[in-house]
Amino acid sequence: MSTKMTIDGNTAASHVAYAFSEVAAIYPITPSSPMAEVADEWSAQGRVNMFDQKLRLAEMESEGGAAGAVHGSLTAGALTTTYTASQGLLLMIPNMYKIAGELLPTVFHVSARALAAHALNIFGDHSDVMACRQTGFAMLASNSVQEVMDLALVAHLSTLKAKVPFLHFFDGFRTSHEVSKIDVIDYDEMKTLVDMNDIEEFRKRALNPEHPVQRGTAQNADIYFQNRETANKYYNATPAIVQEMMDKVSKLTGRSYHLFDYVGAKDAENVIVLMGSGADAVEETINKMNSEGHRVGLLKVRLYRPFSIEHFTEALPKTVKKLAVLDRTKEPGSLGEPLYLDVCAALLEKGMTDIKVVGGRYGLGSKEFNPSMVYAVYKNLESKEPKNHFTVGIYDDLTNTSLDFSEQYNAAPAGTISCKFWGLGSDGTVGANKNSIKIIGDHTDKYVQGYFFYDSKKSGGITVSHLRFGDTKIQSAYLIDAADFVQCSNPSYITRYDMTGDLKEGGSFLLNTSALTVEQLEHVLPAKVKNDIANKHIHFYVIDAIDIAAGLGLKGRTNTILQSAFFKIANIIPYTDAVEFMKKMAYKSFSKKGDAVVQMNYDAIDSASANLVKIDVPESWKTTTEGAEMVKVSGTEYFLNTVAPIIAQKGDKLPSSKFSPDGTVPTGTTQYEKRGVAVLVPKWNAEKCIQCNQCSFVCPHACIRPAVVKSDAEKPASFETKAMIGNKGYDFRIQVSPLDCMGCGVCANICPAKEKALEMVPLGSVVEEETVNYDYSEKLEKVDVSNVPGCKATTVKGSQFRQPLFEFSGACAGCGETPYVKVITQMFGDRMIVANATGCSSIYGGSAPTCPYTVNKEGHGPAWANSLFEDNAEFGYGINLAYAQRRSKLADVITKLAEEATEQTVKDAANAWLENRNDAEGSKAASAKLVALIENCKGNCPLSDLTNEIIKNKDCLVKKSIWIFGG
C-alpha cells in the first residue's frame, strides 16, 4: 500500500535504491549527499531491503573509487548502486564505460548539477549528466519529487531486464531538495513488479571460481570493433523494456508514464521539448496559455538514452509546426546543445523536415525558469522568424542570445497559498519551515511544496524559504514572486532587502522587531516598505521574538516563536491544531535534552499568540517619503556596479557584460559588505588590556585588530588608547570593526587579562562610534614595530601588527580554520599564491560575489584559484612548476645582464638578485634595486633586449610563496 509522505527528491530516490540494493559504494557530493546519508541512517536503524537484508554502504576515497567499487561489486553479483552529481559523476565516467560495456545492471541516482567551469556552482543543471550520454548508460529523467519515486523504480526494474545500466537523474536542489507531499511506494508492492529470473541471471554472470570466466580482456584491431557491436541488440530492446516497466508502475500507482509524454493542446503548432524540473513550470504555463486561446504544447523527454526516434515522433501532435528544444546545459563550440541536436537528427531521419526546430539554453546553475520565461519561449516560436540558439532567463548583452522575458506572466493556479520567509543562515528559519511543511503536509489533504534558497556564506548569510500550499497538485517549480505571506526573521533586513515588493494585495507581513508601535515603526521602516504596506492593504504584524526568546532562556533562538506566529496569521490549519503538532515535533526533537528544554520550546510556541501585534496601518504611509534609510554602500566601481546588486538579491538582473569571460574577479571586496549581522560585539577596556594581541590572533574574521598611533596624533574623541609597551611616543588600542564582526565572542573568551579587557555588548550600543574609530584606525600609517621588544613579526603578538590580507570572510561565526588562513596572509600574503581545493575554504575564501583576500597599500596580496576537489595538490604543484621555470629563465637573463653590463651598479644589482632570488625578503630588496636601475633603460641601450625582458617579467622577480589549501 502506498503511503502519503512529505519528503524531498533525494529521499524519494534513496527509498527506491535501498529496496533494490545490496551494496552502495559512495562518495558524498552536493546535492546528492542526502541520498547516501539517509541510506546509511536506514541501514544503521536496521531497515531491510527487498531481500530482507540491510544495505552495505561503503564510503570510498573519491567518486572514482566509488565507481570502481560499484563495478567490482556488480562483477561479483551484488545488486549495487551509487548516488552522485557534478564533477563527481564525471570522475565515474571511466568506470561507467566498463560497467556498460560489460552489460552490468545498476542504477546511478544523480541529482544533476552544474560543472565547475569559469566558476564552481553547486546548483542544478544537466551539464554533468549530459557529459555521460556517450558512456552506454541509459538515461532517465524525473521532473518532480513524485516522479523521482516512480521513475527510480522504473529504472531499477528496467536495468535488471535490459542489462543496460541506468543513470536516473533529477534536478539538483530544485527537485533533490524540494520538499513535497507524494505517494511513497512500499517495498512489498515494488517486489511484486520484480522478475526474480532477471536477478538470478545477473548473479549467474558473477565472477566465481566454481564456474570461472575471464572478463575485461585486451583486444586488438582484428576483433574489438565487431565485439563492440554485439551490445546493439540490448540497446535496441531497452526503450520497449522501459515502456513495459512504466506500464507496470502505472498500473500499480495510477500515474502514467511514457518515454516521451506530451501535454497541452491536441492541435498545438508550437511545442517545447525539454526534460527535468522545468517541465512542471512549462506545463503550468501552457495550461494558462491554452485557457487564453493559445495552442501550445510540451513534450517531456523521460528516456533520453537510448533515444527512440519512433516514440519521439509518435508523441508529437500531428499539427506541430515549430519546436523549441530547451537544454539545461551549455556545450561551447557545438552546433547546438545535445537534446536539440538529437531532436534535429530524429526529425531528419524521419523526413519530418517541415517542422522548424530552434534550440535554447535555460536554467544553468539553477538559474530561475518561471512562467514569464516559458511565455517568452512560446512568443519566440509564434514569431515569423524565431530566434535560434537563444538563451532565456538572463540578459546577454554581449552576444545578444537572450529572449526578452520582461512581460510578467503569472501561471500559478488560483487557490495556492505562497509564503516566503527571510532568515539568517543558522537561525533556524529553514528548519522551522521544513517542520511547518511536514505539519501541513502530514495532517491535511493539502498539496505542499517547500524550496529553500541559501546564499554562499557558510552561515550567517541569507536564507529564503519558499513554501506553497494548495488544494491541487503544485507544479510551480520556481521561486515565489507573488506572495500571500512574507516573514522577516532578522530586523536588519528591513533596510537591506525589498521584502514587501512581491507581497500580493491584501497579503500578510510579519516582522521580527523590537518596534511594536506605529510610532516606533515610523523610524524603523523605510518609506518604500510603508508605501507597499499601505497601498497594497497588507495585514502587518510585528513581534519582538528576540526579546521573548531571551526571556525564555532560548538565547536568540527565535525560530519556534516565529513559526507559531506564522501558523496564527496564515491560518492554513486551525491554530490550536498547529500548536498541538508543533509541540509534538518539539517533544520529538528535544526530549533527549530533558524536560526543561522541552518546556522552554512549549513556552515559545505558546508565547507567539499573546505577543503578536497587528499594526493599524496609518493612511499617511501610502505616500510618505520618510523613514529609515536603506543601507548605503560605498566601494570601488566594481563593487558598486556588480557586487552590491548581487548582495541586494538583484544579481539575476545583471547583464553578461558585467562579468569577465574567464570568471576572474577583483580581490579585496568583503571590506565593503558591512553586513552588521552580530547581535553582540566586543568592547575594549583600555585599562584592563595587557596588549597581548591574542584577541586579534584568534578572530576568525579579522574584525579586531591592534592599532599603533603616535601619542600626540589627533584622534576621534572616543578613540581611547594607552601607552604602547616598549614603544615610547606611541599609543596602543584594540579596535573592532562592528559592522564586520560576526559576534562569535572568541576574542573575549581568549582574552587572558586578569579581568577580561573585552566585553560583549549589543551592536547598537557601540556601532556608531566604533565605526568612526575603525575607519580612523584603518587610515593610520602602518608603524613598523618589528623591532619593539616582544613584537617580532614571527610571534603571536608581533604578527598581529601586520595587515591581514584575508578579512571578513563568509566562514561560520567562530570558525577555527580561518585564523590560520589569516595569519598565513599576515606572514606571506604580499607574495602569496593559493591553490585551494573545493570545500569550506573555497566557499568562505572564493564565493561570489565578494572576495576576502585583499591587498596592501602597494596593491600586493594573495592571488587565489580553485581547480577541483580532488586535484588540488597537483594544481598547486603546477603553479609551483610554472614559477620555478619562469624564474629560472629570468635568472638566465639576469646572469647574462651581470656578465655583459658595463656599469658596475647594474652588475652588482643583477648579482645581488641572483644571490637572493630564493630568499623572500632578500629578493624583494634586490628586485626593487634592480628594477629601479634598469627601468629607464632606453631603446638604444646595447643591453635593452635583456633589460626589457627583465622588466616584462618583473612580477616574477620576488620569490613567490605558493600554498596548497585543503577544502
d(CA 405, CA 402): 9
Q: Is 357 in the site for ligand SF4 (CB under 6 A)?
A: no
**Comparison of 685 and 961: residue with beta carbon closer to ligand SF4:** 685
**Comparison of 609 and 795: residue with beta carbon closer to ligand SF4:** 795
**Comparison of 554 and 695: residue with beta carbon closer to ligand SF4:** 695
Distance in Å, CB of 237 to ligand SF4, minimum: 49
Contact at 8 Å (CB) between 852 and 833? no
For 463, the 3-state DSSP assignment is strand
DSSP-assigned beta bridge partners for residue 848: none
Distance in Å, CB of 685 to ligand SF4, minimum: 8
Measured CA angle at 356 (ends 371, 397), to 5 deg: 55
Give the closest residue to 179 by CA, choosing from 412, 1, 439. Answer: 439
Q: Is 745 in the site for ligand SF4 (CB under 6 A)?
A: yes
Q: Is 692 in the site for ligand SF4 (CB under 6 A)?
A: yes
DSSP 174: T
Measured CA angle at 338 (ends 244, 353), to 5 deg: 85
Q: Give the one residue of 751, 837, 912, 930 binding ligand SF4; rule: CB under 6 A.
A: 751
DSSP 670: G
Listed ranges 173-181, 203-211, 260-268, 696-704: which one lies at the site for ligand SF4 (CB under 6 A): 696-704
Reduce the secondary structure of 499-540 to three states and give it as a string.
CCCCEEEEEEEEEECCCCCHHHHHHHCCHHHHHHHHHCCCEE
**Comparison of 302 and 802: residue with beta carbon closer to ligand SF4:** 802
Break the chain down into helix, strand, coil percent, rounded to 5.
Answer: 40, 15, 40
Strands 56-59 and 270-274: unpaired
C-alpha cell at 262: 506530451
Contact at 8 Å (CB) between 81 and 107? yes
Hey, what's the torsion of the CAs at 880, 885, 890, 896, to 10 degrees?
A: 150
Q: Is 694 in the site for ligand SF4 (CB under 6 A)?
A: yes
Listed ranges 666-674, 681-689, 823-831, 913-921: which one lies at the site for ligand SF4 (CB under 6 A): 681-689
What amino acid is encoded at 544 in this protein? Answer: D
Contact set for ligand SF4, span 252-291 (CB under 6 A): none
Pattern 640-679, ligand SF4, x by CB under 6 A: ----------------------------------------
**Comparison of 601 and 691: residue with beta carbon closer to ligand SF4:** 691
Pattern 201-240, ligand SF4, x by CB under 6 A: ----------------------------------------
Q: Is 703 in the site for ligand SF4 (CB under 6 A)?
A: yes
Strands 322-327 and 356-362: parallel
For 360, the 3-state DSSP assignment is strand
C-alpha cell at 777: 584606525
How many other C-beta atoms lie within 10 A of the C-beta of residue 680?
Answer: 18
**Comparison of 573 and 725: residue with beta carbon closer to ligand SF4:** 725
Listed ranges 64-72, 123-131, 444-452, 682-690: which one lies at the site for ligand SF4 (CB under 6 A): 682-690
Pattern 395-434, ligand SF4, x by CB under 6 A: ----------------------------------------
Distance in Å, CB of 787 to ligand SF4, minimum: 20
Pattern 815-844, ligand SF4, x by CB under 6 A: x-x----------------------x---x
**Comparison of 385 and 755: residue with beta carbon closer to ligand SF4:** 755
Residue with cell 528535544: 590
**Comparison of 461 and 491: residue with beta carbon closer to ligand SF4:** 461
For 297, the 3-state DSSP assignment is strand
Give the closest residue to 300 by CA, choosing from 291, 311, 288, 289. Answer: 311
Q: Is 483 in the site for ligand SF4 (CB under 6 A)?
A: no
Listed ranges 272-280, 743-751, 903-911, 920-928: which one lies at the site for ligand SF4 (CB under 6 A): 743-751
Q: Compute CA distances 114 → 125, 152, 839, 878, whole Å.
A: 5, 21, 16, 25
Q: Is 556 in the site for ligand SF4 (CB under 6 A)?
A: no
Pattern 449-478, ligand SF4, x by CB under 6 A: ---------x--------------------
Listed ranges 73-81, 131-139, 476-484, 701-709: which one lies at the site for ligand SF4 (CB under 6 A): 701-709
Listed ranges 38-46, 292-300, 441-449, 752-760: which one lies at the site for ligand SF4 (CB under 6 A): 752-760
Give the closest residue to 26 by CA, choosing from 62, 78, 71, 66. Answer: 66
Q: Give the one residue of 689, 724, 894, 958 binding ligand SF4; rule: CB under 6 A.
A: 689
Contact at 8 Å (CB) between 926 and 910? no
Contact at 8 Å (CB) between 112 and 173? no
Q: Is 811 in the site for ligand SF4 (CB under 6 A)?
A: yes
Distance in Å, CB of 840 to ligand SF4, minimum: 3
Contact at 8 Å (CB) between 32 and 189? no
**Comparison of 149 and 812: residue with beta carbon closer to ligand SF4:** 812
C-alpha cell at 142: 524525473
d(CA 963, CA 664): 19
Listed ranges 270-278, 334-342, 516-524, 734-742: which one lies at the site for ligand SF4 (CB under 6 A): 734-742
Residue with cell 560495456: 101
Listed ranges 212-220, 240-248, 578-586, 695-703: which one lies at the site for ligand SF4 (CB under 6 A): 695-703
Listed ranges 577-585, 684-692, 774-782, 889-897: which one lies at the site for ligand SF4 (CB under 6 A): 684-692
Q: Is 743 in the site for ligand SF4 (CB under 6 A)?
A: yes
Q: Is residue 786 classed exposed, middle or buried when 0-12, 13-18 and 19+ CB atoms within 10 A define those classes?
A: middle
Residue with cell 563527481: 88
Q: Is 761 in the site for ligand SF4 (CB under 6 A)?
A: no
DSSP 734: E
Q: What is the size of the binding site for ligand SF4 (CB under 6 A)?
A: 34
Q: Give the one residue of 747, 834, 910, 930 binding ligand SF4; rule: CB under 6 A.
A: 747
Give the closest residue to 685 by CA, choosing from 743, 741, 754, 762. Answer: 754
Q: Is 691 in the site for ligand SF4 (CB under 6 A)?
A: yes
Distance in Å, CB of 750 to ligand SF4, minimum: 6
Q: Is 246 in the site for ligand SF4 (CB under 6 A)?
A: no
> How close are the terminal C-alpha atoms of the chain, in Å?
45
Give the closest residue to 895 by CA, choosing from 852, 944, 950. Answer: 950
Binding site for ligand SF4 (CB under 6 A): 458, 681-682, 684, 689-695, 699, 701, 703-704, 734, 736, 741-747, 751, 753, 757-758, 811-812, 815, 817, 840, 844
